Structure 1
Amino acid sequence: MRTIRAAVTGAVTLSLALTATGCGGGTTDGSGSGSQPKTLTYWASNQGPSVEADKKILQPELDRFEKETGIKVKLEVVPWSDLLNRILTATTSGQGPDVLNIGNTWSASLQATGALLPWDQKNLGKIGGKDRFVESALGSTGVPGQDPAAVPLYSMAYALYYNKKMFEDAGIDKPPATWDELNTVGRKLAVDGKSAIGVEGGNLANNIHQVFVLGKQHGADFFTPDGKADFTSDGAVAAVKQYVDLMAAQKIVAPGNAEYAQNQSLSDFAKGRTAMVLWQTPAQTFASQGMSADEWGVAPAPVPSGKPGQGAQTNSMVAGINIAVFKNTRNLDGALKFVNFMTGDAEQKTLNSAYGSVPPVRSAQQDPAFSGPSLAVIRDTLASSAAALPQVPEESQFETVVGTAVKELFADAAAGRPVTTQSVRAKLDKAQQQMPKK
């Protein structure tokens, strides 16, 4: 799931969804009584700079699918601020699409509703089999040991993007590889009210992405092996404090970032008010802000040693978008054909090129179109130094309650209130108390 994803809903909403057994979505040929549906409904996530931009990218491909199969796809591009609530409502109302995109971090939570089609061996066989997909992308498709709830569609990872001119003006000749280096160069860059690195303190999902990665670097997973919330471990507390301390202690993030929501740090970066951002799929999003490709550089996100890898050297969550089918679709055959089309090599190259992401399909990923410097960093990160967010049913509540705790701590930092190990632990303890008891 991308940085710009809005916050997911809380435990109460999800608990309602967990009572559902499926969705009665799906459409017929328009008469309401056709036994051979010729129409599919598709909820696409907003991947581009606007909903309208997504429609322009997707509609020609859907027209191609209709020409090949005779099945018309009714497209709705759903903003991220609405998508999860729309999906959860559909699981209880029975009024949902046939096929939909989901943020990959939601896979286990939505799997628990029982509304999504399990991708067992038979269903996977209809789209070419499990082995077509990159292993890291498959790691965010549902609870380990169960049939996946979705299949990968677009793959992304975080990297560090930097403004070349701001670095040159500050006499910095290379991007930081470690957090210590980032803090050092950050103090040279954070002048005249500018941020050395942007954060989006009001963006709960982005907060989670960053503190999860820092958690891995501090030896914390936020959940125990048996799926219990573990938000107050020393590693989890250290991770959250390190992130908030970019503002509170290091003073390399401007206080206004505490309230930033979706895309606001990106706007500052493009306008030269922020020197660095941790971001995904930059090419299209930076260009949409008027930033040319020669104005920014890219490097792997920082790790303690400077050498990305597994464990303490993890520098990204496995970000991306999955595609799923509602179990109760009245056009299962058509839905499977559509997923097969969207995950086919040709469409993978077309769509991931358009969105600046990396194909999760092995054969498509090898195309030269995905070998440029930025995408090469993303591809290498996914292959060697990214970790999937916890694949537990309560993941969406985790995003909400811990993301909110981080937001509140940034508010403290912006207001000049102390951010201490004790205050961080207290916020995380409060978040843990809001999780379902096991």
Structure 2
Amino acid sequence: MRRSRAAAVGAVTLSLVLTAAACGGGSSGAGGSNEQPKTLTYWASNQGASIEVDKKVLQPELDKFEKETGIKVKLEVVPWADLLNRILTATTSGQGPDVLNIGNTWSASLQAGGALLPWDAKNFDRIGGKDRFVESALGSTGVEGQDPAAVPLYSMAYALYYNKKMFKDAGVTQPPATWDEMTETGKKLSKNGKWALGAEGSNLSNNIHQVFVLGKQHGADFFTPDGKADFTSDGAVAAVKQYVDLMAKARIVAPGNAEYAQNQSLSDFATDKTAMVLWQTASATFKSQGMNEDEWGVAPAPVQSGKPGQGVSTNSMVAGINMAVFRNTKNTDGALKFVKFMTGEQEQKILNKAYGSIPPVKAAQEDPAFNSPALAVLRETLSTSAAALPQVPEESQFETVVGTAVKELFAEAAAGKPVTEASVRAKLDKAQQQMPKK
């Protein structure tokens, strides 16, 4: 997923999806019972530095689609902190949009409720075929062996972005490749009111992304092969403690970051307050905040030792945004036309250039713009050292309960309370107790 991925579902659980209504929903405005509506509603996820930035990016493309098809698209850009709640509420009420963005990590969870249109061979044929898409992106569109619940729209990976000026001022010549180097380098940078690494302790999904990757590095998956929650394994505990210890023990993350939510760490980075951030395709955001491309660099995210490599040193989750159609739309034909338009080669180039992401459509990737030094790191990561989050129905609850556990541990670290293996395990055990029983 993208930008903050803060899937704060609160008291709404995915069990609500299982009662998804089959009535109502979608757009309206048809002149007769056999006439397709001339309007679609589209919930877009917040990809830019602000909702206004997204509107400026998307509206010209939606106008282009209307000119080509006669179908008007009503756009709403939904903040990440609200998106999953909005989707779950829509599935229970039957009053959802026609088309929407979802974080690719939610695909299996939302698929389980049956509220989204399945992408069978017939529907894929309507948008030009399944083989147009990169295989790794298709791997995060739903449960393996089932028709996908969505199609890929933007592909992303995590990398380590570093502020060149702050590195130079501190006498640091290269970005850290391992976590030990991160601590060593971080102590040189965390001085005089400035800090080495940004974090967003109140951003639940970002918490999950970081501890999932660290979990892979410690041999933990957070779920057993049969899909049961496994949050208290030694590897999972080690991963969460290592992440929180960047504030609690190494002291290279500012205590105030415990309260940070969407994009706040990026603002500190752009204003020379924080020297590094672990983020997904952040170049467009830096540009929107006034940074020139020569002011920052990008390197693979750190690993425990050595360098990243598939099956040995995972350093990113397979990130991205998928596009889905509500099953109960009153305009399936128009919705499929819109998905075809948005995943078309030319639109893929336009949109992914605007957001600094990578097209999941093979033909669009051939554009030289996606071979820049910054994107080359991300493409290499996606192809060699990224792993998909668990494609299980309970994934969204996992983001919520474990993401909250990490948030609470950051709050304790910021308050000067000790973060121990026992306190981490207790938080993760509490999170596991909140998961559905199998």
Q: TM-score range by the shorter chain?
A: over 0.9
* Alpha-carbon distance, 1:336 to partner: 0.9
Query: Within 5 A, what are the aligned runs for 1:310-325?
Result: 310-325=310-325
- The 8 Å contact of residues 8 and 397 in structure 1, kept in 2 or not, is answered as no
- The residue that corresponds to 1:374 in the other structure is 374
- The residue that corresponds to 2:422 in the other structure is 422
Rate the CA distance shift 1:255–1:32 in 2: closer, same or farther, 3 A.
Answer: farther
Supply the AA of the counterpart residue of 2:320. Answer: G
- The 8 Å contact of residues 3 and 46 in structure 2, kept in 1 or not, is answered as no
- The residue that corresponds to 1:162 in the other structure is 162
* Alpha-carbon distance, 1:306 to partner: 3.4
- Of 27-36 and 112-121, the range deviating more from structure 2: 27-36
- The 8 Å contact of residues 24 and 94 in structure 2, kept in 1 or not, is answered as yes
* Alpha-carbon distance, 1:10 to partner: 4.6
Q: CA RMSD in A?
A: 1.5
* Alpha-carbon distance, 1:30 to partner: 4.8
Query: Within 5 A, what are the aligned runs for 1:121-270?
Result: 121-270=121-270
- The residue that corresponds to 1:114 in the other structure is 114
TM-score by length of 1: 0.97
SS at match of 1:225: coil
Q: How many angstroms apart in 1 are the aligned matches of 2:413 and 2:232? A: 20
SS at match of 1:63: helix
Q: How many angstroms apart in 2 are the aligned matches of 1:417 and 1:55? A: 43
1:396 pairs with 2:406: no
TM-score by length of 2: 0.97
Q: How many angstroms apart in 2 are the aligned matches of 1:429 and 1:11? A: 19
* Alpha-carbon distance, 1:312 to partner: 3.7
* Alpha-carbon distance, 1:197 to partner: 0.6
Identity %: 81
* Alpha-carbon distance, 1:21 to partner: 5.0
Q: How many angstroms apart in 2 are the aligned matches of 1:216 and 1:366? A: 31
SS at match of 2:235: helix
Rate the CA distance shift 1:32–1:306 in 2: closer, same or farther, 3 A.
Answer: farther
- Give every structure 1 segment of 4 or more consecutive aligned residues whose post-TM-superposition deviation is greater than 6 Å: none
- The 8 Å contact of residues 246 and 252 in structure 1, kept in 2 or not, is answered as yes
Rate the CA distance shift 1:429–1:409 in 2: closer, same or farther, 3 A.
Answer: same
- Of 125-134 and 232-241, the range deviating more from structure 2: 125-134
* Alpha-carbon distance, 1:34 to partner: 5.5
Q: How many angstroms apart in 1 are the aligned matches of 2:413 and 2:75? A: 43
Gaps of 5+ in 2: none
Aligned residues: 438
Q: How many angstroms apart in 2 are the aligned matches of 1:189 and 1:86? A: 40
Q: How many angstroms apart in 2 are the aligned matches of 1:414 and 1:293? A: 33
- The 8 Å contact of residues 42 and 75 in structure 2, kept in 1 or not, is answered as yes
SS at match of 2:419: coil
1:38 pairs with 2:38: yes
- Of 349-358 and 309-318, the range deviating more from structure 2: 309-318
Q: How many angstroms apart in 1 are the aligned matches of 2:190 and 2:297? A: 18
- The residue that corresponds to 2:277 in the other structure is 277
1:307 pairs with 2:307: yes
Gaps of 5+ in 1: none
* Alpha-carbon distance, 1:23 to partner: 6.0
Summarize deviations over 1:325-364 as a string: whole Å, max 9, x none: 0111111111111111111100000111111111011111
Q: How many angstroms apart in 2 are the aligned matches of 1:369 and 1:352? A: 10
